[in-house]
Amino acid sequence: MRGQTVIRQLGLRDYRTVWQQMRQFNAERGADKADEIWVTEHQPVYTLGLNGKHEHLLHGGDIPLVETDRGGQITYHGPGQLVVYALLDLRRLAMGPRQAVSLLENAMIAALSQYGIGAEARADAPGVYVDGKKIGALGLRIKQGCSYHGLSLNNDMDLSPFYNINPCGYAGLQVTQLADFGVKIRLHELAVPVVHHIIKAIES
């Protein structure tokens, strides 16, 4: 099914709802089901990965915490942050978990470069960084050879909820966003290069 990736624009959605829809999609998909990419943003929520530690939530306040089934530690999602979920048949793509992570990191790095922002991945801490500050996070779940969950890229949002956690389990890790570099674009515009680079990688 290469060349037939389905892109879905979900808009602003509740995290739990989309998570359950991803799980259902993955559970029901057959070998001939096309890969899908879901583009969304979430109402404020902290999410904790499978091996995540509650101690990394320093002050929760009124923002709900969802214990989810992706990899990684704790992160924050909120309006103004681009979230792209990659529902891919990794077996069909002959792609391992590390390759899938690199694919998402490289898509964010390539997209950021189009806006004049030089970013990089780190071997010791998955994600994308600019001058040591985290601008993009990712976490995947691979089940029956297929992935779900994906990436989040900070565009123009309230970053203060990140101060109440150890982002991705790293105390003192600073975060940043495109707006901090004078880039002012809408989420649907930012999604275009990110999704383009994902599709380019899986359909090449």
Any idea what DSSP says for residue 168?
Answer: G
User: Is 132 marked as binding a ligand?
Assistant: no
User: Is 71 marked as binding a ligand?
Assistant: yes
Q: What is the C-alpha separation between 199 and 110, in angstroms, rounded?
A: 13
User: Is 52 marked as binding a ligand?
Assistant: no
Per the annotation, the verdict on 168 as an active-site residue is yes
CA torsion, points 175, 163, 152, 96, in degrees to nearest 10?
A: 90
User: Is 190 marked as binding a ligand?
Assistant: no
User: Is 72 marked as binding a ligand?
Assistant: yes
Q: Identify any residues that bridge with 11 across adjacent strands, giving them in sequence order.
A: 40
Q: What is the C-alpha separation between 47 and 194, in angstroms, rounded?
A: 22
DSSP secondary structure string for all residues of 67-120: E-SSSSSEEEE-TTEEEEEEE-BTTTTT--HHHHHHHHHHHHHHHHHTTT---E
User: Is 137 marked as binding a ligand?
Assistant: yes
DSSP secondary structure string for all residues of 26-70: HHH--TTPPPEEEEEEESSEEEE-TT--GGGB---TTS-EEE-SS
**Choice among 121, 165, 168, 194 that is catalytic:** 168
User: Is 10 marked as binding a ligand?
Assistant: no
User: Is 80 marked as binding a ligand?
Assistant: no
Q: Is the C-alpha dihedral spanning 168, 9, 6, 119 positive or negative?
A: negative
User: Is 76 marked as binding a ligand?
Assistant: yes
Phi, psi of 53 (to 5 degrees): -110, 130
User: Is 145 marked as binding a ligand?
Assistant: no
Annotated binding site for substrate: 70-77, 137-139, 150-152
Please list the active-site residues: 168
Annotated binding site: 70-77, 137-139, 150-152
